[in-house]
Structure 1
Amino acid sequence: MQFTEQPFLPVILGADITAYSHVRAFHEEYNMKSLVLSQKQAKIISESKLCENRVIDNLEREDVLIENLMKVGKEFEGKKKLIVLGCGDWYVRILIENKEKLSPYFLIPYIDEPLLNKIVLKDKFYEICEKLDIPYPTTYVYNCGEENDLNFTFDYPVIAKTANSAMYHYAEFPGKKKVFRFQNEEPLREMLNNLEKSSYNYKFLIQDCIPGGDEFMRVLTCYSDQNGKVVFASLGHSLLEDHSPGAIGNPVAIINEQNPEIINNAIKFLEYVGYKGFSNFDIKYDTRDGKNKFFEINVRLGRSNFYVTGSGFNTVKWIVDDLVYNKKFEGLTIADKEVLFTVVPKQIILHFVKDEETRKKIKKCYKEGRIAYPLNYKCDMSPKRAFYVWASFFNQFRKYAKYK
């Protein structure tokens, strides 16, 4: 396979579908090979022809990650501009906290630490939403290590989730999940007691459970340039989310749509705080009051970011144009092509999606070939890699049978 020499090199941290989405995006746009650093070997990455995969034990430890990034920086010093992308909140936080040390070698497309601490902690995020009159779920803040009365202004069932994803990643306790749903106080108390015994010592959020299934969710990806101006927005309608405990809430099927109200609220937030780079919002429509409520902001491209690239708006091009070529953007580009992003088979999507109009859209996308499955990249499907890609794809039948 022939590649085109570029003045820059992507250095991608992780080996999941997020990492491969980045690898594929760089190859699609620039016909180039990426460098992937990962803690473990994953066949979707290690068997790819589009990247070099260096497996490093304990890469999630800050000292190990920084040491190896410095080695890479010195290896390519004076040869390439290095763009480092983290595929997990913990990686991104380490990159941000070590910007001063890494910046001589890397372009780091993330916000600075003070702003990170201001917005990525969900309780702080909601304070800004309140100030800007942006809808968000009614929330009770549980303070770990303190007395909490658990007196809410809303009824059960409730949703419980971390306010600090990076810290929560390292916490270990019985029954740990990304997001919890409780029907009454007893199991909620039990989970909080277990949480208190772990390494996690920040706040935990207990929220009003907005009615409706996965199909009421939206995901919004925006890019803000070096001047803090939002220049791109892509809204997706989440049709189905991952139901397994460790990944619950991750969209697995998204269809592009447009909604000026949602996009304008995001722009209001991002430009108010002076945001730069990619941002990703989780939003849910509340049928009780007709409002689209913002759940959180992620300061990196999310796991399902290929819904953007797959619809014709390559994510990494925004980063390269802005940080490598210092391009001046004009106006706001809104993604307007309807494509179905999916990492699960058609039968699973149609089993869970009941709305007839949405089902028609899904079937039309399949009929017209407007499907984006990031791992299925024709030029990178050796027999061995193809086996792992399709095994992962069809394993979803077993997964959704278990976690309905």
Structure 2
Amino acid sequence: MSESVPAASPDFDLVLVGTGLGVHAVARAFHEEYGVVATVVTKVAIEPMRRSVTAEVIELGRSATDEDMIRRLEMIGRDRATIRPQLLLANADSVIQMLSDHRSRLEPLFVMPILSAGLLDQLSDKAEFSRLCTEHGIDTPRTEIIDFTAPLPENWTPPKSRIPFPLVVKAARTADMAHVRFPEKKKVWFVHDDEELRQLLSAIAQAGFRGRLVVQELVPGDDTTEGSITAYVDTHSRVTLLCSARVLLGEHTPDALGRPAAMITVALDDALAQARTLLEATGYRGFANLDIKLDPRTGRWVFFEVNPRIGRNNFYVSAAGANIARFPVADVIEHRALEPVTDVGEVLYSLVPVWFLLRYVRDGELRRRVRAAARRGVANPWIYGPDGRWMRRYARAVGINHIRKFLRYYPRPTSSGF
């Protein structure tokens, strides 16, 4: 018989790989739900993780390699796996890729609800994601691919796009751009004309990029037209978690462009239906986070990418009543079916003060909704009672730092969001 919540706290250990807010939020969810203190293995931890009651941190140092990381995980697994199940999770694309690549060494020691290497490679590639969306009838922006994987001929000239400007340009696989260095480097580029595109492609080629670029139409609309979908697909291919939030404000620094800083939970029904179709059709497994945007020209949600992890801002799901820890625990620790969760309460999630957030919410009805949600309380992943006053001070410092960055990179809201 399916249950919506666990009947009793199961006996397992949680091992997290990586650092940052996304990992901290996962550790918090497990501590809040089960009292579990996560073992966090990382190169260098952020200070809040060192101070939090939710985690015990093992730092390997900045020079640690993937092999160092895998060996330490093997040591942990060998010490504990015979005592109780070891649940292994991560929340960064590169770390998920590393764990998947070394599955044969880790799987005998850990429970790993993550994608197979083949599907991970396919879905982590934005070019392949666009193709899969088209194949399964999922709305996605008009896309072109520029291939830099092979050495370019001496007489190579940057191709022109047949998509009307302005355009969005980004690496098909984020990892392929990670070690490339050049002055114009960003996570995402917005390009306004042929000459700007030519200069950008030339700079990328000269920097030695060896991957594929995705060139897409720019879907109109500011940050508030964006959305986020969080999902979990269990061992039996059942989508047991599927919920969504409307982005209110995204980060605008070059290295974090588009990363949500504030959201409000809302059921984006049409988009959720498309997400379910895509996840089921591809044989997805584990957590997923999908980036979407409402196209005002058609009134439909378009899909940009699926991240093979729960996402940095996953706390909005837990805060809305669906603690994210329940889903993998029920699936791979307790081996029981959960009643799928597709509806959660309305919660305002924000890393910035509400008064500053409202500066960027121009729609009157949405402003009223944000204010009403704020009166009920603001969900901030850094603020957790057992972590005490230091973490509250840290949360305030994060908010102030965000204000400084917005005033520098995005001082006023625009209709395009950039």
Amino acid paired to 2:319: G
Q: Deviations over 1:20-72 (max 9, x none)?
A: 10111011100121111222131111111221111112477321221221121
CA contact (8 A) 2:187 2:256 kept: yes
Alignment of 1:7 onto 2:14: no
Alignment of 1:365 onto 2:369: no
Which of the residues 378, 383, 388 maps onto 1:381? 388
Could you say which residue in structure 2 is the equivalent of 1:400?
Answer: 406
CA contact (8 A) 1:96 1:110 kept: yes
CA contact (8 A) 2:164 2:217 kept: yes
User: Is the partner of 1:11 in helix, strand or coil?
Assistant: strand
CA contact (8 A) 2:245 2:268 kept: no
User: What are the within-5 Å matches in structure 2 for residues 261-276 of structure 1?
Assistant: 261-276=270-285
> What is the distance in 2 between the residues matched to 1:336 and 1:395?
30
> What is the distance in 2 between the residues matched to 1:246 and 1:375?
21
Give 5+ residue unaligned stretches, structure 2: 1-7, 411-418
* Segment of structure 1 superposing worse, 68-77 or 288-297: 68-77
Residue 200 of structure 1: CA displacement? 3.5
* Segment of structure 1 superposing worse, 68-77 or 206-215: 68-77
CA RMSD of aligned residues (A): 1.8
Alignment of 1:345 onto 2:353: yes
> What is the distance in 2 between the residues matched to 1:60 and 1:6?
33
CA contact (8 A) 2:10 2:334 kept: no
> What is the distance in 2 between the residues matched to 1:30 and 1:163?
38
> What is the distance in 2 between the residues matched to 1:392 and 1:68?
31
Alignment of 1:217 onto 2:226: yes
Residue 6 of structure 1: CA displacement? 5.5
User: Is the partner of 1:177 in helix, strand or coil?
Assistant: coil
Q: Deviations over 1:83-112 (max 9, x none)?
A: 122221110001011111100111112110
> What is the distance in 2 between the residues matched to 1:201 and 1:182?
21
> What is the distance in 1 between the residues matched to 2:161 and 2:169?
12
Which of the residues 47, 51, 55 maps onto 2:51? 47
User: What are the within-5 Å matches in structure 2 for residues 5-404 of structure 1?
Assistant: 7-58=11-62, 61-144=65-148, 145-146=151-152, 147=156, 150-198=159-207, 200-330=209-339, 332-369=340-377, 371-383=378-390, 385-404=391-410
* Segment of structure 1 superposing worse, 60-69 or 243-252: 60-69
Residue 342 of structure 1: CA displacement? 0.9
> What is the distance in 1 between the residues matched to 2:276 and 2:64?
32
Q: Deviations over 1:224-268 (max 9, x none)?
A: 110112122111101110111111111111111112211111111
> What is the distance in 1 between the residues matched to 2:260 and 2:280?
26
Distance 1:85 1:352, change over 3 A: same
TM norm structure 2: 0.91
* Segment of structure 1 superposing worse, 233-242 or 183-192: 183-192
> What is the distance in 2 between the residues matched to 1:198 and 1:67?
33
Give 5+ residue unaligned stretches, structure 1: none
Residue 19 of structure 1: CA displacement? 1.1
Amino-acid identity (%): 28
> What is the distance in 1 between the residues matched to 2:231 and 2:218?
26
Q: Deviations over 1:377-397 (max 9, x none)?
A: 1111243x4433321222222
> What is the distance in 2 between the residues matched to 1:235 and 1:358?
16
Q: Deviations over 1:149-194 (max 9, x none)?
A: 5332322211111100233233333222111111123333333233
Amino acid paired to 1:345: P
Amino acid paired to 1:377: Y
Residue 15 of structure 1: CA displacement? 2.1
TM norm structure 1: 0.94
CA contact (8 A) 1:21 1:305 kept: yes
User: Is the partner of 1:381 in helix, strand or coil?
Assistant: helix
CA contact (8 A) 2:89 2:113 kept: yes
